[in-house]
Structure 1
C-alpha cells in the first residue's frame, strides 16, 4: 500500500523474543551415598568442577530451542559447558559466570548425621535462606542481586526480537525466572527443574 504525502508511516513495536532457562544434563558425580555435612562440602566442590555423565542425548525440544535462539548463554561450570556443547551444534555460546549456581554451603552439623547429597542439598538450601553469613560464600542477598542483573541482561537481549537461551543451573534459573516474572514476563512453558528441562518466558 502506498503512503501519500503528509502521512506518517507507523511501525508496529518490535515484540521481544522469548527467554528460555534450561538446566544442564545429568552430572557424572553420583548422589547414591550417605555422607556427613562436612563431607557434603567436599562432595559439592567435586560437583562444581565435574562434567556430565557419559552417553546422554539431549532432548530434541531443547536442541530446537538452541537452533531457534538468537543468543545463547552458558554458565562457566563444566556441566553447563558440556550441556552447551551437546545442544548447540557448534553455535556460538556466550560463557558467563553471571549464571553459575547459587552456592550450597553445608550447615555445621555433627558427623553422626549422614544424608545423601540430594538431601544435604535441601538442608543446605534451607539454611542458606535463613542466614546471611555463609563462610565466605555468596549470600542469599548477593545471589538475588546477581539474579536481577542476569534477568536484565537477558531482557536486554530479548528486546531485540530474538529468543535467548540460557544453559545453566536449577536453583539460580529459578531465581532468574522469579525476577523475569516480577518484570512482567509470563511463564508459558514449564518443564520443571529436572536435568535437560527448560522453562520459557514471554513478554505479553
Structure 2
C-alpha cells in the first residue's frame, strides 16, 4: 500500500532576526542563516516525533538546520540521508536603494517577491528552475512512498512549493500542524485514498 508523504519545516535556527540591515548585508545574513544549526533549547513537537517513528523513510536537506531537525525528530535513532535537491528556494537580495535598512524577515518577503518576478542574479536558481527541481523532488517522494510513509525535513517555502505540486498530482493534504512556522508539518495522502480529515486539516 502506498504510504503518505510528510513534509516538515526545520526548527528555529541559531541566528537573530532582531537586527536592521541593508539589502547587501541581508545577502551576508542569509549566508550565515544557511550555515546555522538550530538554536539552543530547540525541540521537536511530540507529533513530529511520532510521525518520524512511523515513517519508513526519513530524508532531509543538506543544510545544517534541516539535518539537525531530522536528527531530533528521529531522536538520533537512524541514519537520515541528506540531499541538496531539498535545499530552500533562493532568496537573492532585492535591487533596492542602498540606504534602506529592514529586519531580515521583511527582506525575506521582498526578496521572495523580486525573485518570483524574475530577479535572478548570476549563479542564482530561477523561479522556473526551482519549480523544475520541485517536480523532481515530488517524483523522489512518490517513489519513497511506494514503500510506506516518507518524512522530508526541509524548508518553509520549498515545502509550500512541494505541496502545490503534490496536489497537482492528486495528493491531498489531510492534516497539518503549525502553519508554516518552525517545526510545522503537513501530511499528504496519495491519490484515490479516502481518508477522514483530521482535526488539524485545512483546505489549501
Considering the TM-score relative to the shorter chain, is it more than 0.5?
A: yes
Offset of 1:172 from its aligned partner? 0.5
Structure-2 separation of matches of 1:138 and 1:184: 27
Structure 1 equivalent of residue 105 of structure 2: 118
CA-based RMSD of the aligned residues comes to: 1.0
Structure 2 equivalent of residue 46 of structure 1: 32
TM-score in terms of structure 2 length: 0.90
Structure 2 unaligned residues grouped into runs of 5+ = 194-204
Where 1:73 maps in the other structure, the secondary structure is strand
Is this contact kept in 1: 2:94–2:119, CA < 8 A? Answer: no
Offset of 1:132 from its aligned partner? 5.6
Offset of 1:112 from its aligned partner? 1.6
Structure-1 separation of matches of 2:119 and 2:137: 21
Instruction: State the aligned residue count.
Output: 189
Structure 1 equivalent of residue 17 of structure 2: 31
Structure 1 unaligned residues grouped into runs of 5+ = 1-13
Tell me which of 84, 88, 96 is aligned to 1:97. 84
Offset of 1:47 from its aligned partner? 0.4
Are residues 1:106 and 2:93 paired? yes
TM-score in terms of structure 1 length: 0.90
Which protein shows a greater Rg? 1
Structure 2 equivalent of residue 5 of structure 1: none
What are the equivalent positions in structure 2 for 1:52-91 lying under 5 Å apart?
A: 52-89=38-75, 90-91=77-78
Where 2:67 maps in the other structure, the secondary structure is helix
